[in-house]
Structure 1
């Protein structure tokens, strides 16, 4: 066999391999050579140096990582929103809403039967009841509207706020009674800021209400007055809201600057920002603004803003006033204001109609508010430019949204990246629109060159850019 070729043989059951002459091939160090280097002082020092250098670098990296963790500003964990921050409040006149026994008057049992519609179809988690209690005796439910057990049953299934007129003196025991029966909050109406009696009683009212629950965030106390702008800021030390009627007072043909000013109000107090969109003693929401595009823009901006929208029953489908009481755009005190019965037949027709409607606008926006963290918990950027109003809602780590409405009489083109927020990317998808829009849901749009028609409102979903 030629040189350099291995041979295999077996002798006495043992296998042997003869690799022959390896020529110039390197076959490694012999044991003697290895021991020579192992005991060489130079190699010993080199090995020790490399060993200590390895551990020194490793420890330095560990210390550096710990230092970075300590000194780097931590992301603030977002607080869970309170229930009256996440959901619109739906105001209901019980005796006009739903009749369970066919006596011609609405009642608590009928209202309870409609909770599936309220909670799941129009995405409402909180209702405010007006006209339920006797004005002269806040212990008693008026007429045939139901019993205390009916109220308790209702309050066990949804957040219930009681509107209490401050005609009689507010008895702490009366507040405690309804809170213990399940009332999640109270709106004290006809509040007189100049009354020392009311001003001095507020801390006791709040304490009484909140003592009925183990969770201080589970109860709401709010004040209502037509002179809400004159109420003192120190009231917010004791109440969660002072109801704001600026949206009702907007002009019939309001401009983008009007809505921008109303939405842009900032509150440095503890009071929660809110806007009342409808009530019994003014003309219905659907008839208050012309053209209709203004009404839809107002509704969409309110439902998606960082404030609590307070809507009146029937506003979600465009209910009109069927009472005999004359109404106007002004907030005029009335002894027992009514807007007529909830028209469930008309609502059923609207719900199955495939045509665009105020009902579809309302339900789409309310659903976004209920489900999307950027809407109920995100930061806001609000901008008005050349009759175009834009509002972005962003919470990092979640889909962002931007509402854009053109109040001009001609088409406008806007760069949302530079006009509204640098967190907005170049592209986004349509989440919902006003009824006059030709855009389709999920349609992709360029946000750095967005064309928007006159009177059109768009809600666009996007992936927020990283902050720099």
Structure 2
């Protein structure tokens, strides 16, 4: 007997047994009561036992002669299982092929993408404006009032506070000079300690102005300056040990020729750490030098930041842009200001509200560190403007804190509004410079210059590009922006249009578009334009 026949006989036996069980379970209903011992409504049907005798010979021959066909459900289950396995493998193969394809595409994109330009080394004095306070009494009523004003300086993103000088010295007498002692008329060590601690919390570094003979006829004494340099070196180490982040010295071109200069520089830089916020700065002021001479000082004196007077002495736009161009490659060692080298207010040069905004925009976007004198953020004017402009009034102007001022008349209210608006403009520029890489340390390209106007481009890698255009003249100016030949070799191009980011010209509102073929500026107006990377 074949195996298929045995399977069929087994199925037939089970079929008969199941039929018998089903018959026994069938309920029967009737009119009479249910027999005793039976459940109501049903009786058992007794089916005689039937022994399974198998199939007859004729039945066997009939089955043997018929091709066996497996049950339909067996064929369906097996086919379904085969199809599912096949589908599973196909999906798995497709998944891995897709994954490998995406990985290969990502690798191609990364390989073909332009490399990011490495960020240059930055120090704390490169990250924001420096703010000079030479007269604590005029600024905040004395050293004891300085701590309370640090919050307002932090709001306008001041990164460095240059204080003093306020050390002890008699006019033109170097032997009474002691850099380590604060003159009692300015304050005490305890008050200065409190200022240093709060400044550190506000992320404001403090630099002390250690001009030796600040009460005398000249910053440096006429003789025995080698002794002065030795005292200065000892004092620098002392103050930096107290938490000061650097020192400022005048007439650096003269001081750098003293035999003790290298010793002073070594003492300052040996106090630095790997943390840029704690790195010590040697800041020097120079007057009357050309851009080339300033560049030479940067290269030969180990000075960290030089503050020249180039923007103040050169009023012609062509000369100004040449000076900036000559120092642009050393921008992390150059500070820019108008009057700041002589501790004069910006308002001495910027005699109108529009000019104050113009020069603030210029200083914040030049390649270098912007340096201001206290009150420049509000356009502070001397009490007697005419006398101060003629050099007759040497009394520093008293700082105005609008939160403490009572408005007496309409004119005073208008002045207060102007100060608040100018401070807001200053803050927006300071915020922008701290966020945008092109303005913070981007490359510089001159675009246009004339006697009363100039324009330049700031670019960094794949960041947003910025164009500064200013016209400080009394007449409208039309600037034709042209890149220097070196720009094209470095892949820098100008688009046809740019967006206005900030403007003092009513004809160019923020977010509007401006054609770069010709930029028209009204008298004493400035604009900052923005455009993305042009591929």
TM-score (normalizing by structure 1): 0.71
The 1:296/1:237 distance shift into structure 2, 3 A limit, reads: same
Three-state SS of the structure 1 residue aligned to 2:311 is coil
In structure 2, relative to structure 1, the CA distance for the partners of 1:391 and 1:265 (3 Å cut) is: same
Q: Does residue 239 of structure 2 align to residue 239 of structure 1?
A: no
The one of 380, 390, 407 equivalent to 2:444 is 380
Match of 2:137 among 93, 96, 100: 96
Paired with 1:240 and 1:86, the residues of 2 have a C-alpha distance of 14
Aligned partners of 1:417 and 1:447 also within 8 Å: no
The match for 2:161 is 127
CA 319–228 in structure 1, closer or farther in 2 if over 3 Å, else same: same
> Do residues 370 (structure 1) and 416 (structure 2) align?
no
Structure 1, residues 119-154: CA drift from partner, whole Å, max 9, x if none? 11x221111012332232211112254333432333
Question: More helix per residue: 1 or 2?
Answer: 2
C-alpha separation in 2, matches of 1:239 and 1:413: 37
TM-score, normalised relative to structure 2: 0.63
Could you list the per-position Cα deviations for residues 364-387 of structure 1 after superposition, in whole angstroms to 9, with x for gaps in the alignment?
Answer: 222221221110111111122566
Change in CA separation of 1:191 and 1:447 when aligned onto 2, cut-off 3 Å:
closer
Matches of 2:310 and 2:436, distance apart in 1: 26
1:4 aligned partner:
none
Q: Out of 300, 314, 337, which is 2:361 matched to?
A: 300
In structure 2, the partner of 1:49 is: none
Superposition deviation, residue 272 in structure 1? 1.1
**2:408 alignment counterpart:** none
Separation of aligned partners in 2, 1:305 and 1:322: 31
1:463 lines up with 2:521 in the alignment: no
2:244 to 179, 183, 192: 183
Q: 1:391 aligns with which of 453, 456, 459?
A: 456
> 155-164 or 216-225: which moved more?
216-225
Equivalent residue for 1:159? Answer: 205
* Aligned equivalent of 1:341, options 377, 383, 398: 398
Contact 2:253/2:297 (CA < 8 Å) preserved in 1? no
- Tell me if 1:440 matches 2:509: yes
- Equivalent residues in 2 for 1:135-284, closer than 5 Å: 135=169, 136-156=177-197, 157=199, 158-167=204-213, 168-171=228-231, 172-191=233-252, 193=254, 198=258, 200-215=259-274, 217=276, 218-229=279-290, 233=297, 236-250=300-314, 254-266=315-327, 272-279=333-340, 284=345
Map of 1:404 onto structure 2 = 469
Q: Which residue of 1 aligns with 2:23?
A: none
Following superposition, the deviation at residue 424 of structure 1 comes to 3.2
Given candidates 114, 120, 137, the residue that maps to 1:79 is 120
Structure 2 Cα separation of the partners of residues 406 and 147 of structure 1: 46
SS at match of 1:114: helix
| Mapped contact 2:247–2:282 kept (Cα < 8 A) | yes
**1:316 partner SS:** helix
Offset at 1:227? 4.6
Deviation per CA, 1:2-37: give whole Å up to 9, x if none: xxxxxxx985575448xxxxxxxxxxxxxxxxxxxx
* Contact 1:424-1:464 at 8 Å conserved across structures: no
CA shift in 2, pair 1:373/1:279, >3 Å: closer
Closer, same or farther: CA 178–282 of 1 in aligned 2, 3 Å: closer
Is there any run of 5+ residues in structure 1 with no aligned partner, and where?
Answer: 1-8, 18-57, 100-104
Structure 2: how far apart are the matches of 1:273 and 1:329?
Answer: 29
Report how far residue 169 of structure 1 moved: 4.2
Contact 2:332 2:369 survives alignment (8 Å): no
Q: Higher Cα Rg: structure 1 or 2?
A: 2
Paired residue secondary structure (2:272): coil
Q: Is the 8 A contact 2:374 2:399 kept in 1?
A: yes
Count of residue pairs brought into register by the alignment: 394
Give the 4+ runs in structure 1 shifted more than 6 A: 267-271, 346-352, 416-421
Q: Distance in 2 between matches of 1:382 and 1:450?
A: 15
Contact (CA 8 Å) 1:126, 1:159: kept in 2 or not?
Answer: yes
Change (3 A) 1:265 1:295: farther
Match of 2:60 in 1: none
Equivalent position of 1:22 in the other structure: none
Secondary structure (helix, strand or coil) at the match of 1:212 reads: coil
Equivalent in the alignment of 1:106: 142
CA–CA distance in structure 1, aligned partners of residues 418 and 355 of structure 2: 22
Taking only aligned residues, the RMSD between alpha carbons, in angstroms, comes to 4.1
Per the TM alignment, residue 454 of structure 1 is displaced from its structure 2 partner at its CA by 3.9
CA drift at 1:425: 2.6
Q: Answer yes or no: is the 8 Å Cα contact 2:442–2:459 preserved in 1.
A: yes
5+ long unaligned stretches in structure 2: 1-67, 77-99, 170-176, 214-227, 406-412
SS of equivalent to 1:459: strand
Distance 1:300 1:144 in 2: 37
